[in-house]
Every structure is written in structure tokens, then in C-alpha cells.
Amino acid sequence: MAGILFIISAPSGSGKSTLVNEVRKQLTGIEFSVSWTTRQPRGSEQDGREYHFASREEFERMLAAGEFLEYAEVFGKDLYGTPRSSLEQARLAGRDLVLDIDVQGAAQVRAAMPEAVSIFVLPPNPKVLRTRLRNRSRAEGVEDEVEVYRRLSEARKEIENYCEYSYILVNDILDRAVAQLEAIVQAERFYRHDEPITFRSRRVLEVAAGCLRVNSYERVKPVLDAFGIGRDSGQQFLDFDEDSDDD
């Protein structure tokens, strides 16, 4: 049985990696694709755990050989790519695969694999995101306010793409966000493979349904407003729904 491909995107500092790690502790049958990147390791990062670190020359060689499912240049300097081998290995094992990729890479994967389940993780507001970015920088032994504010600016641009995703999570309370992501995985397994859920099945399906983009406007609107992109958010939800119905 082929596994499900989950795409998770979020601005840097939104906590998506923590969410994925916690869900993998709770559910079996989930693989995580470790991306390749040309940037330098940060803090306690280890090659092969958070990323595979490579020189630009090595990355470009792999790219020319067709070894990436998707790739993107982030912040105009660093290359990131998802190895095709991760998808092939997960398929052979019949396991689900999670891709932690930015909005550029996610668009490429959705175009090639429209059956993928896409999830966007939102920080609750700019203040919380700024604090998380600062704390992470300090943990890595670096304090760079210019970098923090650059990432905040990039976050707003990334959040504008939220309507391209099927599910939306707001990572304000970690335990709740973990439960929501877990529910999404279980619900998709139920719908696609008729995989049994525990006695909590009805509640699990309700939680997952509540995270669908089409059902999340009231929860998401305050976040969009906080980032200054809420003015047309209601119309964006409606416009996207109309486009989707035409497909």
C-alpha cells in the first residue's frame, strides 16, 4: 500500500519541525525527508539529522542528475532540495512521508503530485514569531537583529500563500497544534486507506475537518490581520474555493 505524501510549510520559526517530531512520536508509519542544503550548519545541527549539508558544487551536480523532487533558492543565497530517494523509499516501505519545505518547493511538489496533502503552519502573531526567532538565534550562539527582522519580513510574504494549502494550523499552543496535526494524519489515512481509528474516531475527524482551509477562516483571520494581510482574507478564501470547484 502506497503511503501518503504530506507537505508542511511555514515561516522560519513557526515550530513546524517540533510539530512533526512530536507527531512522529505518537504515530507509526511516518518517515521524514531530510532535505539537502548549501547553507552552513547552525548551532547543534548535525549532518544527516536536520539536513544533509553540501557545497554548492555538489548540490548543483545532484540537481543536474535529476536527484531532487524539488528545489529552491532561499533568501537569494542558499539552495534547498528534497531528494527523490526519500519518496521512493517511503513508497517501497508503504509508509507516509513528510516534506518540510518552503512555499516555493511546495508549489513544485503540488504541481507534480496533486494528491499530496498540504499543510501550512502559522505563528499566532509577529510578536511571538520575533521572540521565537530571537530565542533560536541565541540558542545557536548568534544574536543578529537584522536577520530576525529580515525573517519577519519574509514570513509575511510566505503567509500570503496560505490559501494554496488544504489545511491550516495556528501554532499558538503546542499541545493543541500537535493534536491537530496528528488528527490530520489519522483522518487522511482513514479516508484514503480506510485505516481504522480508535474509539475517538469521530472526534479525530472533527478536529481534522476544523483545520481544513475552508473551515478555518475565523481562526486564521486574526493571524492575517496581525501580519497586515487580513484586509482581503475573506475574499481570498472565497476566490480560492471558486477556483477549486472548477478543477
Does residue 2 carry a pLDDT above 50? Answer: yes
Q: Is the pLDDT of residue 97 over 60?
A: yes
Would you say residue 68 lies in a domain? no
Strands (E) located in the chain = 5-9, 30-32, 36-37, 52-53, 68-74, 78-83, 96-100, 117-122, 167-170
Mean pLDDT value of segment 76-97: 92
* Cβ(46)–Cβ(154) below 8 Å: no
Q: Say what angle helices 233-246 and 217-226 make with each other, to 10 degrees.
A: 130
Q: Is residue 212 part of a domain?
A: yes
3-state secondary structure of 191: helix
Cell numbers representing residue 225 in the block = 490581520
Q: 3-class DSSP state for residue 59?
A: helix
Specify whether the backbone of 32 is left (phi greater than 0), alpha (psi in -120 to 50) or beta: beta
Give the pairing of strands 5-9 and 96-100.
parallel
- Determine the Cα–Cα distance for residues 177 and 185; give it in Å rounded to an integer: 13
Q: Is residue 138 part of a domain?
A: yes
Better pLDDT: 65 or 237? 65
Q: Note the pTM of the prediction, 2 decimals.
A: 0.87
Query: How far is the first Cα of the chain from the last one, in angstroms, to the nearest whole number?
Result: 27
DSSP 11: -
pLDDT digits 0-9 by tens, 9-59: 999 889 998 999 999 999 999 999 999 999 988 877 889 988 999 999 999
Range of the domain at 100: 5-33+94-246
Position 109 in a domain = yes
The whole-number pLDDT of residue 49 equals: 87
Residues in the chain: 247
Q: How many domains does the chain have?
A: 1
Handedness of CA 240, 241, 245, 247 (dihedral sign): positive
Q: Is residue 47 part of a domain?
A: no
pLDDT at residue 167 in the model: 98
pLDDT band at residue 144, thresholds of 50, 70 and 90?
confident
- Within a 10 A sphere around the Cβ of 128, how many other Cβ atoms? 16
| Chain mean pLDDT for the chain | 87
| Closest CA relative to residue 53, chosen from 68, 74, 38 | 38
- What pairing do the DSSP bridges indicate for beta strands 36-37 and 5-9? unpaired
Nearest to 14 by CA among 160, 152, 122: 122
Query: Does a structural domain hold residue 126?
Result: yes
pLDDT above 50 for 241: no
Going by C-alpha positions, the residue among 153, 133, 171, 183 that lies closest to residue 9 is: 171
In a domain? residue 52: no
Identity of residue 28: T
Residue 244 is predicted with a pLDDT of 43
CATH code of the domain in which 208 resides: 3.40.50.300
Whether residue 216 contacts residue 207, with contact meaning beta carbons closer than 8 Å, is answered with no
Residue 118 lies in a domain: yes
